[in-house]
Amino acid sequence: MGFLDIDNATKSYGAVEVLHKVDISVEEGEFLVLVGPSGCGKSTLLNMIAGLEEITSGEIRIKDQVMNGVHPSKRNIAMVFQSYALYPNMTVRGNISFGMEMHGIPKAERDRKIGEVAELLQIIPLLDRKPGQLSGGQRQRVAMGRALTRDPDVFLFDEPLSNLDAKLRVDMRTEIKKLHQNLGTTIVYVTHEQIEAMTLSTRIAVMNGGYVQQLGTPKDIYDTPANLFVATFMGSPSMNLLEVEIETAETGLRVSTTNAQGAPLHLTLDNPSDALRQFAGRKAVLGLRPEALTDAEGVDQRSVHIERFENTVSVVEPAGSDTFVTTVLGGKDCIARMRSDTPVSAGAPVTFAANMEKVVFFDPVSEARIP
Amino acid sequence: MSVASQDSGMRQGRVARVFIYLVLLLFGLFYLLPLYVMGVNSFKPLSEITGGGMMALPEVWTVEPWLKAWSTAQIGVEPTGLRPYFWNSISMVVPAVAISTVLGALNGYVLTKWRFRGDTILFGLMLFACFIPFQIVLIPMAAVLGTLGLAGTTAGLVLVHLVYGIGFSTLYFRNYYAVFPTELVRAAQIDGAGFFRIFWRILLPSSGPISVVCIIWQFTNIWNDFLFGASFASGGGAPMTVALNNLVQSSTGVKEYNVHFAGAILAALPTLLVYIVAGRYFVRGLMAGSVKG
Ligand SMILES: Nc1ncnc2c1ncn2[C@@H]1O[C@H](COP(=O)(O)OP(=O)(O)OP(=O)(O)O)[C@@H](O)[C@H]1O
Ligand SMILES: [Mg+2]
């Protein structure tokens, strides 16, 4: 039993099922991020937790109390919406106090609370303005202020940063993270930005087509994606995926692919898992993050298994802190992440180092990761 | 070369513009002509009108026709002037406009923010009220009013206009609220506000423009209605429009055109006033619904 339990929750609109038996258990103080492409059902799930959408079947429990059919205002949750949903006709003060007013909290208590929250979010000078007179970031803060006054069991955020420009988004992201660290309240946060998901969460649920594809810590999701969808969705630039042959070698297994010229290229595998051994003689999809494919000197020195090979560079993209180098492996473009001052030039050969400890394999048919 | 051609182009533009303004001015004057004729003749003694010269300004200015139309002219058989009928109209228009606007707003709120199965069909049916010709409902309506015991009363007229008005007011408010962000309603729900509280505190304060549109529309339609007034109101309970007709019809002997003109202006005055006071909101409100938010 967790703090917030989503137990086999299903949502249908008429005959169309948009969420299929979602099962997530959230511990107290966790920061759970629901991430996935547009239309995958993130908002629907969040609205079901909030009580704004009915649960078709299954159960949602907060602190072991079944929430099915309980009115949103009785669930002790607070929600921050994508458009902030500030009441346009009320001042910032009015917006923050409205919820408390509806719950019959006396005026003096409300004022004290508003002062407290305004102080925390640094919006005291804005209290008498209307939402129309605020910038995007300020509106965002007010929306959070409104949610904060409720001392909720669970905070729900629906893409709260998607209307902000890039710089402000990063700042507000940090602010939300700080807020979570200070208050320790349980948060469920929806986004379609994988970077937001990685930086904010204690756990991530990657969703697609109404299914939870993987639920785990950011590290789990990043290092051992459950399937090809998660592998491509999380990470930027995304994971390199090559269709390769698994072959038996004298030390165990080796991977066979081709280099830029089409000549065979072999990478050995130490201690392959039993499941992978089953693939000997067959094809599998090899996944390698760009940062695990580097120049010979930039490779993680603690790695016990590094494979070096030479290959022709096709494109060089300096990005300041790193240089992204594209090369062709197995007929497909692969991106390597090299140190910024690595001497590489397009068309010339260079030595690549692959950190084989970070390699993952996927079944090409089921698309699931081979453990 | 290019400078010269640009110059002549500008000159041509100016000529065209002067021409356009002239034409517009002409049309404007043409439309104002009836008002002018009514205005000047209502301030003339009758002899000046019958002596010819409808267009001329009065030689002797007099408010006598206005006073007569208002308080002593013969309406039907009673020499009461239009005054009692003016109050009849007011006591019909005010409740009919107020109630149909409030109900329209509530309908619009429910149809957009508390959607239910079949709501679009219901809305489509309500729209019929906007398109059914008045004549079709006269007889059934008379029967209904008779059954309710409201035949010939102002309350009956209010009911008739209410039933007809709700179609339009619902249309206005539904379209206005359709682009009103639903997230605001959801936020208010989480804040603990109920059905009416959300309507009263969140939606209504933002409904100024569309309320003005609705009120102007209902006011002019109900005030100017003749058919229902003539059909469902009897004698002393008739609205202004019916009384005006009686005033014009019931002249014994000479037709007092000056009094008729004054009476007609009196009958049109309230709608004119409403337009002058709130007209610019009317245009603004109509635009607000059409531009996607
Ligand atoms: N009222 C509705 N009737 C029918 N289908 C709906 C309704 N609301 C949402 N859906 C469908 O449910 C699915 C999930 O929608 P949802 O809004 O949860 O997506 P999302 O993951 O939040 O996407 P986004 O990132 O674009 O906000 C979508 O395919 C959508 O078309
Ligand atoms: Mg969404």
DSSP string across B261-288: HHHHHHHHHHHHHHHHHHHHHHHHHHHH
Tokens of A2: 């967790």
Amino acid at A115: G
Decide if B192 and A87 are in contact by the 8 Å CB cutoff: no
> B104 to chain A, minimum CA–CA distance in Å?
21
Of residues B237, B268, B235, the one with CA closest to residue B250:
B235
Q: Are A329 and A265 in contact (CB under 8 A)?
A: yes
The residue ranges of every structural domain in chain B are 3-70, 74-292
Secondary structure element (H or E) that encloses residue B48, with its range: helix B46-50
Report the alpha-carbon distance of residue A308 to residue A315 in Å, rounded.
Answer: 20
- Strands A77-80, A369-370: pairing is unpaired
Q: Helix, strand or coil for residue A141? A: helix
Q: What is the dihedral of CA A31, A35, A41, A45, to 10 degrees?
A: 0
Give start-end residues of each CATH 2.40.50.140 domain in chain A. 240-362
Please give the pLDDT value at position B245.
83
Query: What number is the average pLDDT over the span A29-42?
Result: 92
The tens digit of pLDDT for each residue in A342-365 reads 888 888 899 999 999 899 999 999
A44 within ligand 1 shell (Cβ under 6 A) = yes
pLDDT of residue B289: 44
Residues A157, A168: contact at Cβ < 8 Å?
A: no
Whether residues A85 and B192 touch (CB distance < 8 A) is answered with no
- Cα-Cα-Cα-Cα dihedral of A71, A73, A79, A80, to 10°? 120
Q: What is d(CA A119, CA A124) in angstroms, rounded to the nearest whole number?
A: 6
Question: How big is the A-B interface in CB pairs under 8 Å?
Answer: 56
Amino acid at B156: G
What's the CA angle centered on A237, arms A329 and A322, to 5 degrees? 90
A89/B205 CB distance under 8 A:
yes
Nearest to A52 among B186, B193, B202 (CB): B186
- Percent of the residues in chain A that have a pLDDT greater than 90, as a whole number: 47
What residue has token string 């995958």?
Answer: A40
Residue from A17, A18, A188, A192 whose mutation best tests the ligand 1 pocket (most atoms within 8 A of CB): A18
Q: Tens digit of pLDDT for each residue in B156-188?
A: 888 988 988 898 899 989 988 988 888 888 889
- Which chain B residues touch A62 with a CB distance below 8 Å? none
Beta strands in A270-305 (DSSP E): 283-288, 293-295
Query: What pLDDT is attached to residue A202?
Result: 94
pLDDT of residue B293: 32
* The listed CATH number (3.30.390.50, 3.90.79.10, 3.30.70.20, 3.40.50.300) that belongs to domain A4-227: 3.40.50.300
Model pLDDT, residue A136? 81
- The class level of CATH for A240-362 reads mainly beta
B197 to chain A: nearest residue by CA?
Answer: A102
In this prediction, residue A360 carries a pLDDT of 93
Q: Quote the pLDDT of residue B276.
A: 84
- A39 within ligand 1 shell (Cβ under 6 A): yes
The whole-angstrom separation of Cα B104 and Cα B219 is 14
Ligand 1 in reach of A208 Cβ (< 6 A): no
User: Which residues of chain A does CATH 3.40.50.300 include?
Assistant: 4-227
Q: Is A156 helix (H, G, I), strand (E, B) or coil?
A: strand
CB contact under 8 A, B181 and A82: no
- Strand order across the beta sheet in which A4-13 lies: A16-26, A4-13, A57-62, A65-66
Mean pLDDT of A240-257: 87
Q: Is the CB of A115 under 6 A from ligand 1?
A: no
Out of B189, B192, B206, name the one closest to residue A52 (CB): B189
According to the model, what pLDDT value does residue B291 have? 38
pLDDT tens digits, one per residue of B105-138? 999 999 888 888 888 888 888 888 788 888 888 8
- Show Cβ contacts of residue A211 under 8 Å, excluding neighbours closer than 6 positions: A20, A22
Mean pLDDT of chain A: 89
Nearest residue by C-alpha to atom 5 in ligand 1: A13
Q: What count of other Cβ atoms lies within 10 Å of the Cβ of residue A101? A: 17
Q: Return the residue of B nearest to A82 by Cα.
A: B183
DSSP state of B58: P
Closest residue by CA, ligand 1 atom 14: A41
User: Residues of chain B whose pLDDT is less than 70?
Assistant: 1-10, 251-253, 282-293
| Digit-coded pLDDT (tens) for A122-133 | 888 888 988 888
What does the alpha-carbon distance between residue A198 and residue B120 come to, in Å, rounded to a whole number? Answer: 43
For residue B181, what is the nearest residue in chain A, using CA coordinates? Answer: A85
**What CA dihedral angle connects B35, B37, B42 and B47, to 10 degrees?**
-170
Please name which ligand lies nearest the alpha carbon of A44: 1
Q: What is the pLDDT of residues A204-239, one digit of tens each?
A: 999 999 999 999 999 999 999 999 999 999 988 899
CB-ligand 1 contact for A40 (6 Å cutoff)? yes
Question: What CATH number does the domain located at B74-292 have?
Answer: 1.10.3720.10
Q: For chain A, what percent of residues have pLDDT higher than 70?
A: 100
Contact A227, A213 (CB under 8 A): yes
